[in-house]
Structure 1
Amino acid sequence: MCGISCILSLATTSQHQAALQPRNGEHKGAATERARLEEELDRSLQQIVHRGPDSCGNWISDDCRVALGHVRLSINDLSPSGAQPFHAPSHGVHAVVNGEFYDYDRIRAQLEKELPEYTFTSHSDSEIVIALYLAYGLNFTEHLRGEFAVVLYDERRELFVAVRDRYGIKPIFWTIVDDGRGHGGKRLCVAAEAKAFLPLGWEPQWDVRSLKDAGWNHDTRTIFKDVQKLRPGHYMTCQSFSRIEERPYWESSYPDKSIIDARTPEELIAGVREKMLESVRLRLRADVPIGIYLSGGIDSSVLAGMVAHLVKEQNVSLGSAPPSERVTCFSIAFDEDSGFDESSIANRTAEWLGVKYLKKLMNEEELAKRFEDAVWHCEQHNPDFNFVGKYALSEVPQEAGYKVVLTGEGADEIFAGYPLFLPDYLREPDHAYEAHNPLPATERSTQFDSAEQEAREHYRAIGADGGTSDLSIPRRMLNSISTINGMTAFQPDVFAAWTDHAYPASDPHMTIATNADGLARHNINQKWHPLHSALYVWSKGNLPNIFLTCLGDRTEMAHSIEARTPFLDHHLTEYVNHLPPSVKLRWSSEEKRFVEKWILREASKPFITRELYERKKHPYSAPTAWPRGGPLHRLMKGLVTEDNVRQLGFVSWGKVGGLVEEAFGEGGDPRALRLAIVVAQWVVLAQRFGVATAGAEGC
């Protein structure tokens, strides 16, 4: 994993265009402009050097219109030849990559036959981008397997291309700012983190509309005005420095709910197991050691079990470590009496597998100590301290000398692991798999009512409002699925009165509904089972914008850790997406309950303990009960002050002034705690980024 920061001058005016044209073979003021660009790019990359502390490189075009910057975390090909940017000088193509490509040895061997005019200069997986582009043009995206963000520039075609992986595992942001030359010119800036824009002329402002209607969570917006995310599975092009377009190259799909699936459960289980083992095996390739994040849940445990199996039974090397070396797992532990500690289960799993197990204790003081730095790295809010726990977890492999870990993100999204999915599973019969569905038709409606009530109670228990179940327009747009209520269950009601007048139509439900394009909404309403529609909508919002951000890339890369996500291998997800709903959520006649991720449990059975095979889902969260006078209480009191809140401009002090006292101590309100956490994060971001105070004027 690495960091990228790129600049493209836009030809927005004839005066600007003329200023950029070469004269007599040389760019006007080329030396001065190049020096300015190099200095800006260096400062931009320093903002994200945690993503790649091993080396730094850049390429600037002769006319100074294009600059590609890169900081490197050396994983494959540790030699200087693996440094970026990569180039094909005779073709005028240049590229920088943040991420990891799998199965690249096979792809490279194929390209060496098909493209003899290109000579590879390294053994880095990232270099295949150049060769694939030369061989297939913009179709090169079809051949990329992994987690990645890519920026490529083709000098001959004057074509700038930015690509994001299929699930948004790797971040890529863009904005347009003044170019600083004083003649009205603009430039497109693209980077792995928004903080990289600070030295490039970006002046941060709050996007209050995005905060109010949850655009930062459910579409391409961020919490900062005019800073956008490239959609997962999309690429953006800028042709001839003027025309910016964004297009999809991949999309999730699900089977027609009316078509019978004739496969037996045993066939499906074998298929999942085979695809998972392949995904894990491909992610064990590296020139450095690889570890595993291990919690008390099935997702990380099956990865540890499969890795142990591949290493011991198939003699597969774990990165640069030989098969004889013990597999190493990493974890954090909360206080045992908190009700959130899973380390004892993880420890029993490690003992059963015979792997090494390293953990770090996260008490209240440790969480408080890391809070502000974790917020700075995440660049957005999250209503839970779990992101601080993940930030601390990433210190454990770093301290042990590891750069790469496997992690279980994505399993709940493709195998239906969250409680809020159950009502949508029960919303319609699973006609595609009636022959193998143990749920009696007479039970479905009874279980549906119970599931909706249980989902509402679950969200209220964690401090959210549980949503509503009315048939609003957004619900109708999405075939009445109730999962969107859970996705918006925690929407902070702390905004200043002026925001209601400035943004009267803010509706997070509508944001979710319109984030799906017309073709997807057609499939949701006409073809897909409601469970699959729910999984689709969740995977376009909460997955990339929270779980792969605050609980993924940003907290991992803060400590220069590359996390690999086997569950989000698109060969695996495409197979799982096309399984019938009733093997993901399955009724147990013996236990009289639904078993979430049933087919994952069955496919994992040889690789996990009986304890985990039988354990119910427990979402990863940090404790929500903390004493008054402790480190977190003092931290929140110091951040959520009247001066700090009024400096934000969009938050009402009248609504948040008493939150901290409500949140802490015996009988503390979980919702007040979550609101206090969010407001405290906004304060930290305002101070660290220098965000201007928001106001009604110019909104």
Structure 2
Amino acid sequence: MCGFTACITALHGQNHVNGDSKSTAEGLRSRLAASLEKINHRGPDASNSWINPDNTVALGHCRLSINDITPSGRQPLHSDDGEIHAIVNGEIYDFDRLRRECETQHGYKFSSESDSELVLALYKIHGAPALFEHLRGEFAFVLYDEREGSKRVIAGRDRFGIKPLVYTTANDCLLIASEAKAFLPMGWKPEWDVGAIADAGWMFDDRTLFKGVKKLLPGYWMEITEEHGIQIHRYWDAEYPDKTQKDDRTIDEMVIGVRQRLVEAIRLRLRADVPVGIYLSGGIDSSAVAGIITHLAREDQVRIGNEDSNAATKVACFSVRFPEESGYDESSIAERTASWLGVDVIKRDVNEASLAHDFVNTAYHCEHHHFDLNCVAKFALSSLPREHGVKVVLTGEGADEHFAGYPYFPPEFLRAADLGLPDSYLAVNEKERKEMQCAADAEMKAIWRNIGANGDTDSNDFSNSLLAWHPQKDVFASWVRDGDLAKVDCRKVIHDSYPSDVQQKMKSRWHPLHTAQYKWNKNALANVLLSCLGDRTEMAHSIEARTPFLDHHLAEYVNNLPPSVKLSYTPVSEKSNADHGPVWKESGTALQSLTAKWILREAVRPFITDELYRRKKHPFLAPTKWPIGGPLHRMFERLLTRDAVEQLGFVDYSVVEKAFKQGFGDAADSRSFRILAYVGAWVSLSQKLGVARAEA
């Protein structure tokens, strides 16, 4: 994993960049170095740059050495004929097989043992977009092809958006980087995109919080040529079966299919020239990863990173420990899982003082606001592996998305019969399914209210689940609330973010559960969970996280499963008294009668404890109730002064004042606390990046 920055001015023979003294190669190289220094946390092991002879294409890279830690793995990389150049962030899996194929079938000559060099080889052999068919993993890259007749720049991003790629223009240059802060030394003057903030577009389309800064969407690639300028293409998208199509596979076949693909995805992600660890929570997802890793090491002698195959008991698991009284701590379950597996678990204590200490830095690294302090806890957790000599961790992200683990999926599952399994109980008993659907909607609304969600929680539109954490209009200044933006329907913003062919499939072909999963994966997963709870907080501490549940071979198989094996009907006679944690507190018999991620539970049962097999999903959230006068209260008071908030230009300070009065203490209102979190992140970014005040 690494960071990169690129500056592109023209693809013809100009010998200048901006027409001034800064256009010299020396000046450009200096700005590239300063740009890379802004994102040095992504790659502290080495940095380097390459500029073409006429100074029109400049590529810079900072390296986190994982595979081929020798100098030969340094970037920018160059093809065997010296005519194609690339900067790559990420990991390409199945590296050994692909390398042999490129060498033996196509005669490509590799100059390193780095998996990143595959991007060059596959592009030279197959071109674009064909190379993406062969890329398995998480990646973002920029590639310059200077061959005569095919001169162009290519930029690509992985299928789920695990790795970031943003771009903008400044001083007549196209700038591309891993993080927006890298643009600052290249002449970028940050301004707020108030429209993208107010209508939630930063979460749903290609906009960001900053005016003129866009992100390349997951599964897309960018092509830049002199003839056509910038063109954006889609190379991959999720697909689901027709809702009327019967699935003829047996349940056992499906369970084995999931198990085989998950084990393979994990096995491929254990290859590294450095130690590999695991982020372990109290849930089934990360515990299954830990269980499969120890099984592969002990039974199949699979090497874990650079450790010997007999070192399974040396696998380090890292966990967050919240204060026990908060109700959000899962570290004791993680400890029992580690004990059962015979591996070590190392805990990071996250308390009020540490959350207050890390808040501003977390916002700076994430480059967007967030509704919860769980991202601050993830920031703290990610400092732990490096302290113990570990650069790579495997995580459980993506399981809830593909196996329908979140509590807002059941109402969508119940919205229509599953004709993929027409003999399943709820497909046969239509009346009971409809009654459960109404009940599940009501229970989900109660859950949203209980945990302080915003938005129209009284509506049954799934878009409202996507908007549950979007700041309400009263947070914004009057010119935002009452101006043209007040007329914007955020649900239309969501709808318009999907390609027209996908909209048609949602309308006529896909089961409602699959439509909901697609929406969540394209919006919240890509732009929030894989950002502030993924890459940004991990790479802030130079940690590479690998996500086997987001292996696209596994995901495509799971997407093609019928809804009823993801959410299985398991009736209960009355509301359970079991401790389901803070999120499930308001659930009733409808939600408790559906076993989330059922087929995943069956697939990984040999690798997890009985406790985890039977446990409900507990989302990774941080507490929202904290005392008046405590570290968080004092931190927000220092941060959210009237001057600091009014300098934003788009926030109503009176709302912040009110949130201070209602957001702390024994009777704290979760919504008020979340307002302080939103505005606190904006102020942090304003001050650290020097964002100009927004004007009406």
TM-score > 0.5 by shorter chain: yes
Q: CA deviation at 1:437?
A: 4.3
Amino acid at match of 1:51: R
Amino acid at match of 1:651: V
Q: CA deviation at 1:121?
A: 0.4
Q: Tell me how far apart the structure 2 counterparts of residues 96 and 196 of structure 1 sit (CA, whole Å).
A: 15
Following superposition of structure 1 onto structure 2, how do residues 47-126 of structure 1 map, counting pairs within 5 Å? 47-88=38-79, 90=81, 92-116=83-107, 118-126=108-116
Amino acid at match of 1:375: A
Residue in structure 2 matching 1:249, options 225, 235, 260: 235
CA deviations over 1:484-508 (Å, ceiling 9, x no partner):
1111012213011111314233222
Tell me if structure 1 keeps the 8 A contact 2:157–2:216: yes
Residue in structure 2 matching 1:561, options 530, 543, 552: 543
Residue in structure 1 matching 2:558, options 572, 576, 580: 576
Which residue number corresponds to residue 177 of structure 1? 170
Tell me if structure 1 keeps the 8 A contact 2:5–2:176: yes
Q: CA deviation at 1:388?
A: 0.3
Amino acid at match of 1:331: S
Amino acid at match of 1:491: H
Q: Report percent identity of matched pairs.
A: 50
Q: CA deviation at 1:436?
A: 3.8
Q: Secondary structure at the match of 1:431?
A: coil
Residue in structure 1 matching 2:436, options 433, 440, 447: 447
Q: Tell me how far apart the structure 2 counterparts of residues 147 and 521 of structure 1 sit (CA, whole Å).
A: 26
Q: CA deviation at 1:469?
A: 5.7
Q: Secondary structure at the match of 2:421?
A: helix
Which residue number corresponds to residue 403 of structure 1? 391
Task: Give yes or no for the alignment of 1:482 onto 2:471.
Answer: no
Which residue number corresponds to residue 688 of structure 1? 688
Which residue number corresponds to residue 634 of structure 2? 634
Once the two structures are overlaid, the 10-residue window that deviates more, 488-497 or 670-679, is 488-497
Q: CA deviation at 1:661?
A: 2.2
Tell me if structure 1 keeps the 8 A contact 2:16–2:23: no
Amino acid at match of 2:78: H
Once the two structures are overlaid, the 10-residue window that deviates more, 320-329 or 519-528, is 320-329
Q: CA deviation at 1:28?
A: 9.8
130 and 170 in structure 1: CA distance in 2 versus 1, 3 angstrom threshold: same
Q: Secondary structure at the match of 2:101?
A: helix
For structure 2, which runs of at least 5 residues remain unmatched after alignment? 574-588
Which residue number corresponds to residue 307 of structure 2? 321
Q: CA deviation at 1:278?
A: 0.4
Tell me if structure 1 keeps the 8 A contact 2:269–2:546: yes
Q: Tell me how far apart the structure 1 counterparts of residues 687 and 10 of structure 2 sit (CA, whole Å).
A: 31
Amino acid at match of 2:139: F
Tell me if structure 2 keeps the 8 A contact 1:30–1:63: no
623 and 504 in structure 1: CA distance in 2 versus 1, 3 angstrom threshold: closer
Which residue number corresponds to residue 267 of structure 1? 253
Amino acid at match of 2:388: A
Q: Secondary structure at the match of 1:504?
A: helix
Residue in structure 1 matching 2:508, options 508, 521, 526: 526
Q: CA deviation at 1:648?
A: 0.5
Count of residue pairs the alignment pairs up:
669
Q: Superposition RMSD on alpha carbons, in Å?
A: 1.7
366 and 468 in structure 1: CA distance in 2 versus 1, 3 angstrom threshold: closer
Once the two structures are overlaid, the 10-residue window that deviates more, 523-532 or 582-591, is 582-591
CA deviations over 1:376-425 (Å, ceiling 9, x no partner):
10010001000000001101111101000000111111001111111111
Amino acid at match of 2:545: A
Q: Tell me how far apart the structure 2 counterparts of residues 455 and 206 of structure 1 sit (CA, whole Å).
A: 34
CA deviations over 1:303-359 (Å, ceiling 9, x no partner):
000001101111101010112222210011000110000000000000001011111
Q: Secondary structure at the match of 2:409?
A: helix
Task: Give yes or no for the alignment of 1:166 onto 2:153.
Answer: no
Once the two structures are overlaid, the 10-residue window that deviates more, 559-568 or 314-323, is 314-323
Amino acid at match of 1:489: A
Residue in structure 1 matching 2:139, options 142, 148, 151: 148
267 and 436 in structure 1: CA distance in 2 versus 1, 3 angstrom threshold: farther
Q: Tell me how far apart the structure 2 counterparts of residues 393 and 625 of structure 1 sit (CA, whole Å).
A: 21
Amino acid at match of 2:85: H
CA deviations over 1:265-296 (Å, ceiling 9, x no partner):
11111110011000000000001110000000
Residue in structure 2 matching 1:433, options 417, 421, 427: 421
CA deviations over 1:481-537 (Å, ceiling 9, x no partner):
732111101221301111131423322211111111110010001100000000001
Q: Secondary structure at the match of 1:657?
A: helix
Q: CA deviation at 1:640?
A: 1.6
Task: Give yes or no for the alignment of 1:465 onto 2:465.
Answer: no
Q: Tell me how far apart the structure 1 counterparts of residues 505 and 204 of structure 2 sit (CA, whole Å).
A: 19
Amino acid at match of 1:188: L
Residue in structure 1 matching 2:520, options 538, 562, 568: 538
Q: CA deviation at 1:466?
A: 5.6
Task: Give yes or no for the alignment of 1:137 onto 2:122.
Answer: no
Q: Secondary structure at the match of 1:448?
A: helix
Amino acid at match of 1:632: L
Q: Tell me how far apart the structure 2 counterparts of residues 203 and 507 of structure 1 sit (CA, whole Å).
A: 29
Tell me if structure 2 keeps the 8 A contact 1:7–1:189: yes
List 4+ stretches of structure 1 deviating above 6 A. Answer: 27-32
Once the two structures are overlaid, the 10-residue window that deviates more, 230-239 or 649-658, is 649-658
Residue in structure 2 matching 1:343, options 313, 327, 331: 331
Which residue number corresponds to residue 616 of structure 1? 616
Tell me if structure 2 keeps the 8 A contact 1:158–1:241: no
Once the two structures are overlaid, the 10-residue window that deviates more, 508-517 or 166-175, is 508-517
Residue in structure 2 matching 1:497, options 478, 501, 510: 478
For structure 1, which runs of at least 5 residues remain unmatched after alignment? 12-16, 179-185, 471-480
Q: Tell me how far apart the structure 2 counterparts of residues 43 and 457 of structure 1 sit (CA, whole Å).
A: 50
Q: CA deviation at 1:467?
A: 2.5
Which residue number corresponds to residue 297 of structure 1? 283
Which residue number corresponds to residue 4 of structure 1? 4
Q: Tell me how far apart the structure 1 counterparts of residues 227 and 509 of structure 2 sit (CA, whole Å).
A: 41
Q: Secondary structure at the match of 2:206?
A: coil
Tell me if structure 1 keeps the 8 A contact 2:412–2:512: yes
TM-score in terms of structure 2 length: 0.94
Tell me if structure 1 keeps the 8 A contact 2:240–2:514: yes
Q: Tell me how far apart the structure 2 counterparts of residues 28 and 385 of structure 1 sit (CA, whole Å).
A: 46
Following superposition of structure 1 onto structure 2, how do residues 204-223 of structure 1 map, counting pairs within 5 Å? 204-223=190-209
165 and 382 in structure 1: CA distance in 2 versus 1, 3 angstrom threshold: same
Which residue number corresponds to residue 581 of structure 2? none
Task: Give yes or no for the alignment of 1:236 onto 2:227.
Answer: no
Q: Tell me how far apart the structure 2 counterparts of residues 100 and 209 of structure 1 sit (CA, whole Å).
A: 35
Which residue number corresponds to residue 365 of structure 1? 353
Residue in structure 1 matching 2:270, options 280, 284, 300: 284
Amino acid at match of 2:286: S
Which residue number corresponds to residue 32 of structure 2? 41
Once the two structures are overlaid, the 10-residue window that deviates more, 426-435 or 554-563, is 426-435
Q: Tell me how far apart the structure 1 counterparts of residues 238 and 22 of structure 2 sit (CA, whole Å).
A: 47
